[in-house]
Amino acid sequence: MTNGRVNPAMRLEDQGITGLGNVYYNFLVSQLLEHTVSKGEGHIGLGGTVLVNTGKFTGRSPKDKRVVRNDVTEDTIWWENNTAMTEEGFANLKADMLEHMKGRDYYVEDLYANADPVHRLNVRMVTEFAWHGIFMRHMLRRPARVELDAFVPELTVINCPSFQANPERHNCRSETVIALNLKEKLILIGGTEYAGENKKSVFTTLNYLLPEKGVMAMHCSANHAVGKTEESAVFFGLSGTGKTTLSADPKRVLIGDDEHGWDDKGIFNFEGGCYAKTINLSPEAEPEIYATTRMFGTVIENMVYDEDSLKLDFDDDSLTPNMRCAYPLFYIDNASATGVAGQPKNVIMLTCDAFGVLPPIAKLSPEQAMYHFLSGFTSKVAGTERGITEPQPTFSTCFGAPFMPRRPEVYGDLLMKKIADSGATCWLVNTGWSGGAYGTGSRMPIKATRSLLSAALDGTLKSVAFKKDPFFGFDVPVEVPGIETDLLHPRDTWKDKAAFDVQAEKLVGMFKDNFEQYMPYVSDDVKAVAIG
């Protein structure tokens, strides 16, 4: 056994994991990078980055995710959204995976989830690939070296890409499996090299545990005003809607780009790093994120690069449109050192509307916010999941259905309470299409989106006039300084106004049809929004 810092009473043997080859405990990024290269898992890029390719899986595989059904989860999991695995299937999977691991080398990283010590979860990552260890050292929060002497894992994640599941024996769908046993606090991942499965499995677990403590678990990014931690903002949104890009505002302090909690004191980051999409990334539009692609240890995932110069090609999506980079939060100059902030003053719901109907910004009442939160309308963009090659309109409740183990109303009710207690203003922001639907219109200009968000966050929009949207009933600014007026009102950007009306009515109908499933669980005020 090869050791870094580790609690001597909590080696893998104490967890029933025996017979392995070398076990490398809590290696630093530099050590993991050496192993990544020596084992042929990846290459060193410019600035000491880590260049890796994840093979056939360049995105999550949500159809292969399972939650073990037992006495703990039977009445607490939203089974219509989460696929069950039998206890017998998981037991067989665990036994077979541990047997497969014998004689092989593994990397153990003991890390924290949650910046707020009150809600902290000790996570042990056991990975077959050295670079997965780097990835998770970025994604979660690193204990001080002396803290490792007393570290006791509360959740263990084992990732073994070389293991192939047996659907019949393991009660799963294919040779790929992501199995969560919330009773044992154990997650088993096999048959995929895509690193995002690691972080999202931890996120799903937190989404299960925290609501029991009255904490709102959110798929969102967050920032706050410089020097004013009480003036924070959260940005809900699925991958591809702009969470990472829009929260990395150089004029504000970045709290985090993907996963946060909201309790009675304020908000806190679950993670310690960022996982940003790099397709079409440029130093002009996103200088902070672009700079990380030449920083030591940044994981560059599935990007084409010149083998001689090592120069990255940000426009070549031949491997996947879901090319990404993973880096620690402190690589962003204006990142929060603590990962915590006060109560949000603004709640932004990001959507990527492929229909070209929704305005670039609209103000929501609390009831409308509940409606749009439970609806979670957006368009899945190319590469985020296997098989997605162009934008597909979808409803993903809570802006993160794949990661929500409990029923949507649990999160919706918590959100309504937090909005009421904090007095936050809610906004819907469309980063999708304008001037027509996908294929006809064009993507919303990011410069305009940034300007509108700044106006919302700094209070400028408080002084402008609004008018009701005739289709959705929310308030849309009539004019905003520095923004083309036509852009604010989608119908004005379409050449064929009648075609817009048809498209808008179609989208309203899709919203209503989707929301029928929530009508028995929401208040009369929210039902009134749904009925229109």
Q: Give the active site residues.
A: 60, 200, 219, 239, 243-244, 258, 324
CB-CB contact of 20 with 102 (8 Å): yes
As a three-state string, the secondary structure of 367-436 is: HHHHHHHHHCEEEECCCCECCCCCCEEEECHHHCHHHCCCCHHHHHHHHHHHHHHHCCEEEEEECCEECC
Residue 519's closest CA among 507, 506, 532?
Answer: 532
* Alpha-carbon distance values, 418 to 72, 126, 159, 347 (Å): 27, 36, 36, 10
* Alpha-carbon distance values, 241 to 163, 347, 350 (Å): 33, 15, 6
Q: Which two tokens stand for residue 480?
A: 């905003």
Burial of 446 (0-12, 13-18, 19+ CB in 10 A): middle
Question: Which amino acid is residue 28, in one-letter code?
Answer: L
CB-CB contact of 388 with 381 (8 Å): yes
| Calpha distance 160→126 (Å, rounded) | 8
Report how many helices (DSSP H) and strands (DSSP E) the chain contains, helices first: 14, 28
In the DSSP assignment, the letter for residue 345 is E
| Calpha distance 465→480 (Å, rounded) | 9
Residue 132's closest CA among 175, 180, 181, 196?
Answer: 196
| Calpha distance 358→374 (Å, rounded) | 17
Q: Which two tokens stand for residue 276?
A: 């940003």
CB-CB contact of 252 with 246 (8 Å): no
